[in-house]
């Protein structure tokens, strides 16, 4: 049996099942122990998320408020200017963020003017000394390399669910497409951020299978976002029940035990959680959150910065300070 002090990439489904299905308090205790072995438990990475291009996406992800085919009533916005993005990144840094993630409602990156603009934004945000992350959809090997050369530190690309359940929620691309992008990101030397969503109507077995895929990648993703479905009116999943926070706790704790060194991010869903519910997630090993100046994650609500500050003060948490070595030195 694992003593939870080593990094493993050979987890079996049965082992993950027995971790995941433990009595909750035992699971949280184990996860908290792993958390303390590998991290400073009072430090939480604050990652500011900004939607740099919103809505109008051609994909059919059934959870997403930005898919053009669903009538969600969001305001579609074309790519923001570098100047506006860098100004928001500077304010995020001043407010204590160490990572800045730029999201675009694209299926994939295309080699066009918008991509050139993104590369300039990456350069500008990297120059501020923040860890720069992007989530832009599928990437080719050469696009990943160009992003790295521009100073990209991390790339977010989620598996979303199990391979089996994936095709129930998205038909316009495959699970293997997702895994290929992760390979391109890894090959370019960019830090991998990949996790998923719960509350899409999947079973516990689907959640376990997704964690199995993530934790058996040749190298664990450095960041693992765990999202609760943010229900958006007009999407096919709008009427699903709200995710029970204990389900988030169970998922986070299992991810923490399987991938001890990774940052496990309590992602979408915080706006519908109390401070008490979020505290359980931190106790279970979450050590990263998304914040946003607009109080919207992308198109759904996220807690106010003031409320997060109060929560940090109450729980004795502090924003993780970025390692000075992090600034990506562009390769010429």
Query: In whole angstroms, what is the distance from residue 133 CA to residue 138 CA?
Result: 14
Residues 104-133 that bind ligand SF4 (CB under 6 A): 105, 107
The values of phi and psi at residue 226, to 5°, are -110, 115
N- to C-terminal Cα separation, the chain: 47
Pairing of strands 154-156, 196-198: unpaired
CA-to-CA distance for 286 and 297, rounded, in angstroms? 18
Residue 250 host element (H or E):
helix 245-258
132 binds ligand DTB per the rule CB under 6 A: no
| 134 has catalytic annotation | no
Q: Which of 199, 225, 260, 303 binds ligand DTB (CB under 6 A)?
A: 225
Residue with tokens 């029940």: 241
Site for ligand SAM in 182-211 (CB under 6 A): 197
Contacting residue, 128, 300, 315, 327, with ligand DTB by CB under 6 A = 300
Q: Which of 51, 69, 50, 72 is closest to 170 using CA atoms? A: 69
Among the options 193, 231, 250, 281, which is catalytic? 193
Return the structure tokens found at 330.
């562009």
Query: Cα–Cα distance between 252 and 283 in angstroms, integer?
Result: 10
| Binding-site member from 65, 124, 221, 260 for ligand DTB (CB under 6 A) | 65
132 binds, among ligand DTB, ligand SF4, ligand SAM, none (CB under 5 to 8 A by kind): none
Binding mask 136-165 vs ligand SAM (x if CB under 6 A, - otherwise)? -x-------------------xx-x-----
Backbone Cα Rg of the chain:
18
- CA dist 250 and 253 (Å) reads 5
Nearer to ligand SF4, 66 or 191 (CB): 66
Structure tokens at 265: 């991010």
Determine if residue 57 is labeled as part of a ligand binding site.
yes
Q: Is 287 in the site for ligand DTB (CB under 6 A)?
A: no
101 binds ligand SAM (CB under 6 A): no
Q: How far is the CB of 36 from ligand SAM (least distance, A)?
A: 28
Using the rule CB under 6 A, is 47 a contact of ligand SAM? Answer: no
CB of 287 vs ligand SAM, minimal distance in Å? 19
> How near is the Cβ of 181 to ligand SAM at its closest, in Å?
8
Distance between CA atoms of 102 and 264, rounded to whole angstroms?
19
- Which residue lies nearer to ligand SF4 by CB, 107 or 318? 107
**Active site amino acids:** 57, 61, 64, 101, 133, 193, 265
């Amino acid at each position: 049996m694992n003593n939870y002090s080593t990094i493993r990439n050979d987890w079996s489904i049965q082992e993950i099942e027995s971790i995941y299905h433990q009595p909750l308090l035992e699971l949280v205790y184990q996860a908290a122990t792993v958390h303390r072995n590998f991290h400073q438990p009072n430090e939480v990475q604050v990652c500011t998320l900004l939607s740099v291009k919103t809505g109008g996406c051609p994909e059919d992800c059934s959870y997403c408020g930005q898919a053009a085919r669903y009538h969600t009533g969001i305001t579609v916005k074309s790519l923001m200017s570098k100047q506006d993005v860098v100004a928001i990144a500077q304010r995020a840094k001043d407010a204590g963020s160490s990572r800045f993630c730029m999201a675009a409602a694209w299926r994939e990156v295309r080699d066009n003017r918008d991509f050139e603009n993104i590369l300039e934004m990456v350069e500008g945000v990297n120059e501020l000394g923040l860890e720069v992350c992007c989530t832009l959809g599928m990437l080719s090997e050469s696009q990943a390399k160009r992003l790295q050369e521009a100073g990209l530190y991390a790339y977010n690309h989620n598996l979303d669910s199990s391979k089996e359940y994936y095709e129930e929620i998205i038909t316009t691309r495959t699970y293997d497409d997702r895994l290929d992008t992760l390979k391109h990101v890894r090959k370019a030397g960019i830090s991998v951020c990949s996790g998923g969503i719960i509350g899409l109507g999947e079973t516990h077995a689907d959640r376990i299978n997704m964690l199995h895929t993530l934790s058996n990648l040749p190298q664990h993703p450095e960041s693992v976002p765990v999202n609760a479905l943010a229900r958006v009116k007009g999407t096919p999943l709008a009427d699903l029940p709200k995710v029970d926070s204990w389900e988030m706790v169970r998922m986070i704790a299992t991810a923490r035990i399987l991938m001890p060194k990774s940052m496990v991010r309590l992602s979408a869903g915080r706006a519908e959680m109390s401070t008490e519910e979020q505290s359980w997630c931190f106790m279970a090993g979450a050590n990263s959150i998304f914040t946003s100046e607009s109080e919207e994650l992308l198109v759904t609500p996220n807690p106010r910065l003031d409320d997060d500050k109060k929560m940090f003060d109450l729980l004795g948490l502090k924003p993780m300070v970025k390692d000075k070595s992090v600034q990506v030195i562009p390769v010429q």
